[in-house]
Amino acid sequence: MRSTNVLRSIALGVIAVGFIGLVSSCSVPVGEQALAPVGEETIAVSAGKDGAQLQSYQSFIVGDPADVTRTTQGGTVLMGGGTDVDEAFRWMITRSGGGDFLIIRSTGTDGYNPYVYTELGGVNSCETLIITSRAAANDPVVEQKIRNAEAVFFSGGDQANYVNFFEGTRVEDAINYLINTKRVPVGGTSAGCAIQGRTYFSAINGTITTDEALRNPYNSKLTLGRNNFINNALLDNTITDTHFNNPDRRGRLMTFLARMSKDYAIQPKGIGVDEATAVCVDASGSARVYGTGTAFFLRQRTSTSTPETCVSGTRLDWFRSRQAVSVYKINGSTSGAGPFNVSTWSGSGGSSQFYFVDRGVLGISY
């Protein structure tokens, strides 16, 4: 995850020093929008007559601000948080055709701009959009900026913000246009990865630990969204989780899968990604694992290997002779380990094991 130490405090009537030049904010009549370009950065603000800010987004851009048209290749990047994986970003840049690279976030800074544009290079521009409300997410200017991109990457943070701000808005429409019509690489890290699956943990009631999830799979914190946000067919019936080198993430992902099996009557799949690790999936579903950690590909072993007990207020029990969920592990590398195909759910270059839950306790078998 990238950040900068440059002051980014933007408020009505305040001028702040930016990455290149200055950023200023302004007041405009209700329903109107002002763009204040200074150097290579702009801010857009809509304000009421009393000066109170109603909606805003911040835009920071390096490189050529003019839109370009490039030949792109679709793909998905699932990054596990922590240190960014250079090889995954280079993979996205290649598939972007060297076009305009867009970073989307709901908090934070423009720290990815110099990383993508200067350190990695090979793009026409890199722009960071910081979108902090549903009103901003429904701004036609924001929508068009996204539609013009040749690659989009969601930063980390809190996925509840992405869900609350973006689901059902112009931002969602634009992202799905990029995935399914324009076919550009789209991905994210940490919270930005957590929203990529067709099923996702929304965290709108806060995060949840493994112990909380296994003790009660219907805990009020275990909030799942399904088929109503990012529409990536490669991740149908699939949920993602990150920071997977933390063992506390594994039991909760098992509980997510149990809920999917019970609530949706499907054979659920999950992808868990360690920090400093990325899964890069091309348009055919073939995935390679980059970085220094491990990626875990989980699937309910058979269509009938459903949880024995998955009810509210009772510990999860998903034993199935210690083989409830099949797990395929691939250790990352700089050249991309694997492959693993998410369409056929089969791979090579890794190792197999099983996860199960015995009356609220996660177990692993081989």
At residue 113's C-alpha, the angle toward residues 111 and 118, to 5°, is: 115
Amino acid at 49: K
Report angle CA 238, 240, 244 to the nearest 5 degrees: 140
Indicate the pairing of strand 125-131 with strand 53-63: antiparallel
d(CA 130, CA 109): 8
Domains within the chain, CATH numbers bracketed: 197-366 (3.40.50.880)
Please name every residue paired with 352 in a beta bridge, in sequence order, or none if there are none.
328
Closest CA to 106 of 162, 176, 187, 164: 162
The pTM (predicted TM-score) of the whole model is 0.89
Residue 42: per-residue pLDDT? 57
Q: Which amino acid, residue 173? A: D
Ramachandran bin of 170, using left for φ above 0, alpha for ψ from -120 to 50, beta for the remaining angles? alpha
For residues 254 and 357, give the distance between their C-alpha atoms in angstroms, rounded to a whole number.
Answer: 8
Given 3-state DSSP classes, what are the helix, strand and coil percentages for the chain, each rounded to the nearest 5? 25, 35, 45
Average pLDDT, the chain: 89
Report in angstroms the alpha-carbon separations of 360 from 236, 252, 318.
Answer: 27, 11, 9
* pLDDT digits 0-9 by tens, 276-300: 999 999 999 999 999 999 999 999 9
Per-residue pLDDT of the chain (366 residues; tens, 9 = 90+): 775 433 232 322 222 223 332 232 322 222 333 333 333 455 555 444 444 444 589 999 999 999 999 999 999 999 999 999 999 999 999 999 999 999 999 999 999 999 999 999 999 999 999 999 999 999 999 999 999 999 999 999 999 999 999 999 999 999 999 999 999 999 999 999 999 999 999 999 999 999 999 999 999 999 999 999 999 999 999 999 999 999 999 999 999 999 999 999 999 999 999 999 999 999 999 999 999 999 999 999 999 999 999 999 999 999 999 999 999 999 999 999 999 999 999 999 999 999 999 999 999 999
User: What percent of the chain is predicted at pLDDT more than 70?
Assistant: 86
Residues 45-74: pLDDT tens digits?
Answer: 544 444 444 458 999 999 999 999 999 999
